[in-house]
């Protein structure tokens, strides 16, 4: 295992502060054996000084190339991906290099395109040795390194650009012209490292979300790529990242569920995996980052996030469409558990991995081949677990009764709080699949640009922020409860208080009291969501009022056609299937079908105003539920059974 020393003064300081070397904080120990390339003080010390791996050192060593070629030959799925990457690279040969273009406040689209181009072209050169890919990659490197900056005011743009530039520099290092290598090193120093020390740009260092993982990963890639030429600056960037990235890693504890939902798992966790993998190949160790509580278990969280409808449980700022997920191959390899790629292999067969989309991870597609190069994909076993429970920042519970494609029933329910990163007022929300059809759905996020361009105060998570006037973001239009027509408490965290895992019922019970209460309106509020005997879902809400009566709104979004059958039944139909919602209550209820397609035409119950014109439409959707009034000092139980019609 390769290790590198801290500067001796810092190491002595650590010894004094912590008493002995074993107590030095984990993120500092990666540099405790010597600085790569440093001249030893004594002959005895010389053999203890490790060196950073030679180029190529990031992700795929020279010695691993034949393993990858063998995997492509052995696995038809990887042959398909390899062919696709080469075809994309061939198409890029005719494309002009990228140009500097800001959209709104972002260069991100250009940075992501650069990462894709540089990664694909560099991969194609290493696999084929055809210099046409080398020459085209060098043109792209020269172009993006000549940009005036990489837009540090939105540092994600820098992180992704730096990663792409670093991969190409490292992988093509021996064959790049010296003038190009000089340009790249200068660009990484000036456009990535230097602005990362400017306080107005580097707030990502203190964040515990995807920004931290993406930005630090990109910077570390730059540091690993140019280490031998800019040792002091590169080492400082790596040391800082090892400390900073502990913040997002803490949010995976204890069970791996990602606070920002599966969509942002695809972003933040994939870049966290990229960071770990690069440290391991270049330095021989990730310094224990991947062993942080919950991080490895997060692969199972992501496995459960896809229902038989082949949609994600897309809470918070997340879309429902599934896409290529290269990081799952890393998890499967690291945990020696091929069940983790159960969902990925069919996606390759169906062409999801090899088509141009707007999804996040297409640009990192070569990583799937690299992470999975030691695997064989025949006879992937079926997971044994049918229930996933994750506590932590945003608690979730997921039930999947059958792991065959488009089979069985699926329930996902979440807690957490609205003020969490990318949070919605969706505490207690749930999704429900029966086979290939999703009956209870989430509208998902709205494009940030459509809101920011209209001046919406999108990123203010305060109780009275304009964020909660966005139709898709507030509690009125999620599958949850609302009392007294008021917003959820942004700092009120809903937690899982009980779980059920037997053939009789699987699911969880949540305490929603902190989320629903703004002024202590309720003594308690719980929601139990279970699938009973694998046959039907039941939602059970129990609320107890304080000294005043409370109004209640029960809501669920669906893409089905809804009809009120009687005072206690709503019929849903889609694609020739019928689902009955049978409501039970200890107080009178009024069933409701509420529109959701054209938000700007509707009045918000939060006040006497219509939803803004900035709200996107939600075609093909409707909301169902009921309204009720609960007397003061009363405990009331409400149930909803989801029954398939024969």
Give the whole-angstrom CA distance, residue 463 versus residue 603: 20
Averaged pLDDT for residues 314-329: 94
Give 49's pLDDT tier (boundaries 50, 70, 90).
Answer: very low
Q: Residue 242 — φ and ψ, nearest 5°?
A: -65, -30
Angle at 210 between CA 209 and CA 215, to 5 degrees: 115
Confidence at residue 291, expressed as pLDDT on a 0 to 100 scale: 97
3-state secondary structure of 332: helix
Q: Please count the other Cβ atoms lying within 10 Å of the Cβ belonging to residue 637.
A: 15
Which range, of 7-21, 116-130, 444-458, 566-580, averages the lowest pLDDT? 7-21
Q: Is 50 exceeded by the pLDDT of residue 35?
A: no
pLDDT at 185 over 60: yes
The string of pLDDT tens digits covering residues 561-598 is 999 999 999 999 999 999 999 999 999 999 999 999 99
Residue 6 has pLDDT above 90, yes or no: no
Report yes or no: 600 and 613 within 8 Å, Cβ to Cβ.
yes
With cut-offs at 50, 70 and 90, classify the pLDDT of residue 353: very high
**Which strands sit side by side in the sheet containing 387-390, from one edge to the other?**
387-390, 396-400, 409-414, 430-434, 437-440
- What is the spatial distance between Cα 339 and Cα 562, in angstroms, rounded to a whole number? 37
Average of per-residue pLDDT values in the chain: 92
What is residue 5's predicted lDDT score, i.e. its pLDDT? 36
At residue 201's C-alpha, the angle toward residues 195 and 206, to 5°, is 115
| Ordered DSSP codes for 524-591 | EEEEEEEEETTTEEEEEEEEEE-SS-EEEEEEEEESSEEEEEETTEEEEEETTEEEEEEEEESS-EEE
| Position 646 confidence tier, pLDDT thresholds 50, 70, 90 | confident
Strands 430-434 and 437-440: antiparallel
Residue pLDDT, tens place only, 589-618: 999 999 999 999 999 999 889 999 999 999
The secondary structure of 24-60, three-state, reads CCHHHHHHCCCCCCCCCCCHHHHCCCCCCCCCCCCCC
Predicted confidence (pLDDT) per residue in 155-168, tens digit: 999 999 999 999 99
Q: Which residue has the tokens 């530039």?
A: 165
Q: What is the pLDDT of residue 11?
A: 33
Q: What percent of the chain has pLDDT over 90?
A: 89
Q: Which residues of 168-189 are buried (b: 16+ CB within 10 A; e: fewer)?
A: bbbbbbeebeeebbebbbebbb
For residue 620, is pLDDT > 60? yes
**Residue 470's pLDDT is what?**
97
Binned at pLDDT 50, 70 and 90, residue 179 comes out as very high
50: pLDDT strictly greater than 70:
no
Give me the pLDDT at residue 361, please: 66
Beta bridge partners of 545: 522
Query: Does the pLDDT of residue 23 top 70, yes or no?
Result: no
Q: Answer yes or no: is pLDDT of 325 > 70.
A: yes
- pLDDT at residue 355, rounded to an integer: 83
Alpha carbon 427 to chain centroid, angstroms? 19
CB 287 within 8 A of CB 30: yes
Nearest to 140 by CA among 193, 101, 96, 179: 96
Q: Residue 580 — φ and ψ, nearest 5°?
A: -100, 130
Q: What SS3 class is residue 444?
A: coil
Q: Tell which wins on pLDDT, 7 or 299.
A: 299
H-state helical runs in 152-311: 156-171, 178-187, 210-225, 231-244, 246-250, 261-264, 270-283, 298-304
Q: What is the pLDDT of residue 209?
A: 95
**Cβ contacts of 599 within 8 Å, gap of 6 or more:** 471, 611, 615, 616, 617, 618
């Amino acid at each position: 295992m390769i290790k590198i020393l801290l500067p001796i003064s810092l190491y002595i300081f650590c010894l004094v502060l912590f008493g002995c070397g074993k107590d030095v904080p984990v993120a500092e120990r990666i540099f405790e054996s010597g600085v790569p390339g440093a001249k030893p003080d004594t002959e005895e010390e010389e053999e203890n000084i490790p060196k950073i791996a030679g180029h190529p050192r990031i992700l795929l060593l020279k010695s691993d190339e034949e393993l990858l070629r063998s995997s492509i030959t052995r696995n038809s799925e990887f042959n398909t991906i390899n062919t696709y990457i080469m075809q994309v690279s061939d198409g890029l040969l005719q494309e002009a290099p990228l140009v500097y273009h800001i959209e709104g406040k972002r260069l991100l689209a250009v940075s992501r395109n650069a990462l894709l181009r540089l990664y694909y072209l560099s991969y194609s050169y290493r696999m084929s040795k055809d210099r046409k890919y080398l020459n085209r990659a060098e043109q792209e490197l020269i172009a993006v390194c000549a940009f005036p900056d990489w837009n540090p005011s939105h540092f994600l743009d820098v992180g992704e650009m730096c990663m792409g530039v670093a991969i190409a520099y490292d992988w093509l290092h021996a064959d790049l012209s010296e003038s190009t290598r000089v340009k790249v090193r200068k660009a990484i120093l000036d456009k990535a490292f230097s602005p990362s020390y400017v306080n107005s740009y580097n707030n990502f260092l203190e964040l515990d979300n995807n920004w931290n993982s993406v930005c630090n990963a990109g910077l570390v890639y730059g540091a690993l790529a140019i280490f031998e030429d800019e040792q002091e600056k590169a080492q400082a960037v790596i040391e800082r990242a090892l400390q900073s990235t502990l913040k997002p890693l803490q949010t995976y504890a204890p069970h791996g569920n990602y606070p920002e939902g599966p969509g942002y798992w695809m972003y933040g966790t994939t870049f966290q995996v990229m960071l770990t993998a690069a440290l391991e190949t270049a330095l021989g160790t990730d310094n224990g980052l991947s062993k942080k509580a919950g991080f490895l278990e997060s692969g199972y969280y992501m496995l459960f996030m896809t229902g038989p409808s082949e949609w994600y449980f897309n809470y918070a700022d997340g879309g429902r469409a599934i896409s290529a997920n290269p990081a799952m191959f890393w998890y499967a390899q690291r945990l020696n558990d091929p069940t983790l790629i159960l969902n990925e292999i069919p996606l390759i067969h169906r062409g999801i991995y090899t088509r141009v989309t707007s999804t996040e991870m297409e640009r990192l597609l070569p990583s799937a081949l690299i992470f999975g190069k030691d695997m064989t994909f025949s006879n992937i076993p079926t997971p044994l677990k049918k229930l996933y429970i994750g506590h932590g920042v945003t608690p979730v519970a997921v039930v999947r009764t059958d792991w065959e494609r488009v089979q069985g029933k699926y329930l996902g329910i979440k807690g957490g709080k609205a003020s969490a990163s990318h949070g919605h007022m969706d505490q207690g929300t749930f999704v429900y699949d029966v086979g290939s059809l999703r009956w209870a759905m989430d509208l998902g996020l709205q494009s940030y640009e459509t809101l920011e361009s209209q001046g919406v105060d999108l990123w203010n998570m305060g109780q009275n922020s304009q964020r909660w006037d966005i139709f898709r973001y507030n509690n009125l239009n999620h599958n949850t409860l609302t009392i007294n027509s008021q917003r959820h408490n942004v700092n009120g965290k809903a937690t899982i208080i009980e779980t059920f895992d037997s053939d009789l019922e699987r699911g969880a019970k949540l305490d929603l009291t902190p989320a629903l209460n703004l002024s202590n309106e309720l003594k308690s509020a719980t929601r139990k969501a279970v699938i009973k005997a694998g046959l039907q879902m039941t939602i059970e809400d129990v609320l107890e009022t304080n000294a005043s009566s409370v109004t209640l709104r029960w809501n669920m979004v669906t893409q089905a056609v809804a009809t009120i059958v009687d005072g206690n039944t709503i019929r849903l139909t889609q694609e020739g299937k019928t689902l009955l919602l049978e409501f039970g209550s200890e107080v009178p209820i009024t069933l409701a079908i509420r529109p959701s397609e054209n938000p700007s035409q509707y009045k918000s119950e939060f006040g006497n105003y219509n939803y803004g014109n900035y709200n996107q439409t939600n075609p093909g959707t409707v909301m169902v539920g009921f309204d009720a009034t609960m007397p003061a000092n009363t405990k009331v139980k409400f149930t909803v059974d989801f029954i398939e019609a024969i």
